Amino acid sequence: MIHFFESHPQLFIISATILLSIPLLCFGWSQLKRASAFYSYNWSDIDQLSTREFESLLIPYFHNQGYSVTNVTDTSLCKVNFVLRKRGIKVVVIVKKQENNVDSLSVKELIEAKDMFGANKALLITNLYYTSTAKKLAATENVNLVDRTALHSILTNKAGIDRPHRFIERVRTFSDYPNIE
């Protein structure tokens, strides 16, 4: 057999390439299966998730957008769930999985957390919608809101791979100018 490969080196290279690519194909297939499980959801499933499961559903989206994600475990200080970092931009994120629309109190909590963490941006994500007072306060304080409709858009766009969410585009714009806070 060795003599065969000595006389046909191209066949040896092809055989070695095929054998070495099998583990990579298996790894890729497992990643594809995991991603398809993430992308296949329906709203009744999301509404049945625990708060932790709902939060963990968002982490791959932020990773795919290039953010480093830090889970904030000490919730006694504030209600922040994540701190995102990318190119000098720091974003505090509060995730609200509720059965009622999010009110302005949650927006106030996020504004305080933004100052506490020294963040450039603030993001409030919910599985439902926001009250009109929460929307007004968020608009005046430059807080980004992601409601059920925007969240659906994020999740159906394969966690932002195809088309990033508008908030992420704004953060990218600011990240190009590191002197702007």
132, pLDDT greater than 90: yes
Q: Per the structure block, which two tokens stand in for 80?
A: 């922040």
Fold of 41-175: Trna Endonuclease; Chain: A, domain 1 (3.40.1350)
| pLDDT-derived band at 163, boundaries 50, 70, 90 | very low
The kind and range of the H/E element at 96 are strand 89-96
Q: How many helices (H) and strands (E) does the chain have?
A: 8, 5
Give the per-residue pLDDT at 168: 47
Average pLDDT, the chain: 77
pTM more than 0.85: no
99 burial via Cβ count (<10 Å: 0-12, 13-18, 19+): exposed
- Helical packing angle, 132-141 and 104-117, nearest 10°: 20
Over the stretch 35-51, which tens digit does the pLDDT of each residue have?
A: 554 555 566 677 788 88
What separation in angstroms does the CA of 105 have from each of 23, 117, 132, 149, 175? 51, 18, 12, 21, 29
Alpha carbon distance 161, 168 (integer Å): 12
Alpha carbon distance 152, 22 (integer Å): 36
Alpha carbon distance 173, 151 (integer Å): 21
Residue percentage of the chain with pLDDT more than 70:
71
Q: Indicate the domain borders of the chain.
A: 2-38, 41-175
